[in-house]
Structure 1
Amino acid sequence: MNGQVVRRLLLGLAPWVGAILLWYAVRWSGFVNASLIPAPHQVAAKFYELLTRENLLLDIYVSSRRVVLGVVLGILVAVPVGFLLGWYRPARTFADPMINFFRALPPIALIPLVIVYFGVDELAKLVILFYAAFFSGVIVMYEGVSQITPLYIRVAKTLGANEFEIFRKVIIPLTVPHILTALRVALGVAWATLVASELIAAQRGLGAMIQNASTYFLLDVIYVGIICIGVIALIMDLILRKISARLLVWQERAMS
């Protein structure tokens, strides 16, 4: 058992070690100006400096709060809309072109209009994140729900279940995996949209830190901001995976 744990740990660490070695190799290769690529140890030193002197934790908290709030609000709307579109074919036929039209629009392109209609305060940033989370979540939801086999419903009806019991005991459990998948996808898209949302006059946050650093060509700060976004997004995704595994354990038992 301990050997398996060590093996899994080594397999998990191997890509990160490889990425760091590749980072050093590119910097020392001479193909790129070394001054344009701060070394990993320099980025680590800058991270410690920002953490201890520049209140990096506040930037992490502000950005995480914006992302979580935008994703929660987006998914709360995307789940019923996605379920409606996935379960009722006429609704999907009616709304699918418009959903895909808005999904294809990059959030950064909407910033001028968001500023006009919502100003430059916190609401504007949440609107951008809500937009990104909603349209990514609703696509996952209705694609997943539309593929639910009607066999389970026919079996429930054969066993005498009424419409409410079918919805509560069959449809909702079958929808939970798609809700969790939509949440994970929306979370990733929201983190990818964070920098765009914080273009709107943000004073704090990782995206604002990256934008300010780019103005003064502080490449090590930019690297710190990018790595922080990736690490926090990864941690949140791992947490969601653990929650999904616990909530969906009944599916594994049913398949075994």
Structure 2
Amino acid sequence: MIVLLIYVAIFAGAYFLVKLLVHRGTRDFTARKTVTFGDESAVRPNRIASVVSVLSIFLLWGAFTGSAWVPGVLHAPGPFTGDAQFTYTATADGVDPDDATVTIRVFAAGTQSDPPPVDPGTGWARNDSDAIAAWRSGLVRVDRNDDLGRDAGHRVIAINGQLIAPGKEVLTDFGRIGMSPKGTLNVEPAKGWQMEPIWLPPPEAVVARMIDIARNGYRDSTLWEHLGWSLFRVVAGFFFGALAGIPLGYAMGLSDWFRGWFDPIVEFMRPVPPLALIPLVIIWAGIGETGKIILLFLAALWIMAIAARSGVSGVSISKVHAAYSLGASKAQIMRHVIIPNSLPDIFTGARVAMGVCWGTVVAAELVAAEKGAGMMIMVASKFQLTDIVIMGIILIGVIGFGIDMLMRAAERALVPWRGKG
């Protein structure tokens, strides 16, 4: 919730700052258009907003992980580390209550430390020490070195002068001290707002891991082999899906018989997530490469069929009548009218299908894959290697974004008439 509120504040602040400093000094002729609100042609991505958005996400990531790449003044409060003390008051049978001090050494996660040496003192309750890792808690048996133990009725009744009982807690400057039902103290140092590296490592740890895997590989394969196999599976599955889906969509758009025959099948399979087909694909095609490509083929097939059908259905009938009036044959109408006018919808469907295939490849590579970005992510997750998981997610996103950019460029080159009537 804190991160969300900060992100919303950055969004609002950046918006008004850009409006105040940038737009005031530039001439924007978009406002001269007769219609702007609701006009898609009047809306273009604001490049400043895009840059600020990416930087904001990186800043929040670094701030809440204590990244060395983010100035320390911007870091969110981190977990307590260092030495801290608290005093407990204990009672025992036949003696007066006595006080003793416990020194707690809180060390950084991923390192080791011994309890600091302390002077035991002169009372029957002896001073003690312990060591606890940051973001963790620990049970501290303060009676283990006292002259009188639990067999003599040893019982802690106060922490730093505040009464405590089983199930209760006392807040200190460095964290929380609770008491278990059996009377053992549970010391929990303050965790702060930063994320523990096992849950979210800082950006530099992810980059360092990526460099290491790029040099030395992971699971007997280089990083580029993992990404290459994922890319090959996605492209192969998409290619065969488009190869079958586009003609099917054209047939459904041009023939009432084909549409009546295949429409129930397409509409039934369209909402079925590809992940639900994994058990069936394993039974039919096994766990080899064929099964993975078939799964991605099915992920792309229905999308491409619907896109092609929508493209054919959206062709203006006036263009078809004009072609007939000029003496065009059905083959000529198909080549010069229907295909060119349906290509924009097909390219849109191709971009959606490619995105779905990228989202499915991780699941497809769960099935006994030896190489692939999805396999790398899933194996790393079993060992809680979060930096590898995040690295794989980022690389999949970057490659998917790059493919989408290439498909947009291909659409602009091959379908320059899109949106021009």
Q: Which secondary structure state, in structure 2, belongs to the residue aligned with residue 137 of structure 1?
A: helix
- The residue that corresponds to 1:14 in the other structure is 52
Q: Which of 183, 202, 212 matches 1:39?
A: 202
**2: CA distance, partners of 1:194 / 1:88:** 34
How many pairs were matched up?
A: 249
- Comparing 44-53 with 80-89, greater Cα deviation is found at 80-89
The 5 Å alignment of 1:80-159 reads 80-159=247-326
| Compared CA separation, residues 251 and 137, structure 1 to 2 (3 A) | closer
Q: Is the 8 A contact 1:71 1:133 kept in 2?
A: yes
CA contact (8 A) 1:82 1:141 kept: yes
State the Cα RMSD in Å: 2.1
Q: Unmatched 5+ residue regions in structure 2? A: 1-25, 27-44, 66-75, 78-191
Structure 1: tracts of 5 or more residues without a match: none
2:413 is aligned with 1:246: yes
Match of 1:222 in 2: 389
1:168 to 335, 344, 347: 335
Shift of 1:97: 2.8
Please, what TM-score do these two structures have when normalized by structure 2? 0.56
Inter-partner Cα distance in structure 1 for 2:344 and 2:213? 39
Give the alignment partner of residue 194 of structure 1, picking from 334, 337, 361.
361
Task: Check whether the contact 2:251–2:258 (CA below 8 A) recurs between aligned residues.
Answer: yes
Larger proportion of strand: 2
Contact 1:46 1:221 in 2 (8 A): yes
Output the CA distance in 2 between the equivalents of 1:134 and 1:46. 36
Deviates more, 1:117-126 or 1:10-19: 10-19
Q: Whole-Å Cα distance in 1 between the matches of residues 290 and 323 of structure 2?
A: 45
Name the % identity.
36
What TM-score, normalized to structure 1? 0.89
For 2:275 and 2:414, the matched residues in 1 are separated by: 35
Q: Amino acid of the residue matched to residue 34 of structure 1?
A: E
Large movers: runs of 4+ above 4 Å: 7-12, 29-32
Q: CA deviation at 1:32?
A: 6.4
Letter in 2 for 1:49: D
Return closer, same or farther for 1:62/1:147 CA change in 2, 3 Å cut-off: same
What's the offset of the Cα at 1:40?
Answer: 1.4
Instruction: Give the corresponding residue for 1:206.
Output: 373
> Any idea what SS the aligned residue of 1:213 has?
helix
Stretch of structure 1 that moved more, 147-156 or 91-100: 91-100
